[in-house]
Structure 1
């Protein structure tokens, strides 16, 4: 199986690569469109600030490539947020894959949210074998609101989307690669999704 982690200069890519290795697979780090298009699974990571990350995507043409991918794609953290219509962070227009906006926490809670939180209302194959109220690891100041594409949610002053799913696109606000056994199970479920590229 060919797994590509998109390397566009805004990722926590090594920790994801190691998590995939622990599951018995190797992943390629690449921003080469041909490598990405021919992958069985694509992981779209992100750490940092939205507008500068989107600028990097545009510079490499990945802003037009990613929404056209046909195989399973998993956006992680900022990667998921960039897959949405818009984020308040840097007043940034996203890739428009998920029909939802990303807004800043302003509900009297400490920002960023760093640490473990529970996920619930699980609705996707990503969560096969994962129990409601399991703990996952998050680091974020912005969140995707709850939408019809929400397949997991958490609460932190407000109920928000911790995972999204539309067609072949998946996104997690949490870091599966840092979420212990639960995260490993979710990553494994993603890698076991049928490939349809």
Structure 2
């Protein structure tokens, strides 16, 4: 008799912030397993797509592991963190990469300006937070990114950094965090808890 699929899994692409994300969930009493099997990607109840690095390389890893079709077919909760959220969009300026196309729009290179360096790194307050995602307006969360997703109907929270930038998305079964919830103290924990309850 085969064992049931895990309740919570993190996609293991062989790089990135996997262990810190596991620890973030563990602090909430949730055990996350690592997966890279296309069947489990479809079956696991809640799946996290992490990301640190470049869009082109990450998409190459997904293709090499045969996971692109499984991610596109998935209908259960899926959370993309940082680059993982960016991979949900159609295209990225980073290496002109074609991404998963789960959310309409493009990921664009951010432009530096006086007092506004790129990458955008550090704590920034959330604005216009959707009530379902566990964040409140004014919550400070931690960012580390040089590219930003197009603002659109899926945006569930914003920050201002030379203009509005999507900080989180929520579209059907899709969740996204441009910030790092696992490094964002109590607000980040609330966000992860909301995803666990989705």
Q: Structure 1 length as normaliser, TM-score?
A: 0.93
Match of 2:19, SS state, is helix
2:109 is aligned to: 104
The answer to whether the Cα contact below 8 Å between 1:5 and 1:27 also exists between their aligned partners in 2 is yes
2:39 is aligned to: 34
Match of 1:164, SS state, is strand
CA distance in 2, matches of 1:37, 1:68: 7
Match of 1:9, SS state, is coil
- Does residue 90 (structure 1) correspond to residue 95 (structure 2)? The answer is yes
- Does residue 126 (structure 1) correspond to residue 102 (structure 2)? The answer is no
5+ residue gaps, structure 2, are 1-5
Q: Structure 2 length as normaliser, TM-score?
A: 0.93
State the number of aligned residues. 191
- Does residue 116 (structure 1) correspond to residue 123 (structure 2)? The answer is yes
Change over 3 Å in CA distance of 1:124–1:169 after alignment to 2: farther
- Two-structure CA RMSD over aligned residues (Å): 1.2
2:3 is aligned to: none
Deviations, residues 3-60 of structure 1 (Å, cap 9, x unaligned): 0100012330000001111111111111012222221110110000111111111101
- Does residue 184 (structure 1) correspond to residue 189 (structure 2)? The answer is yes
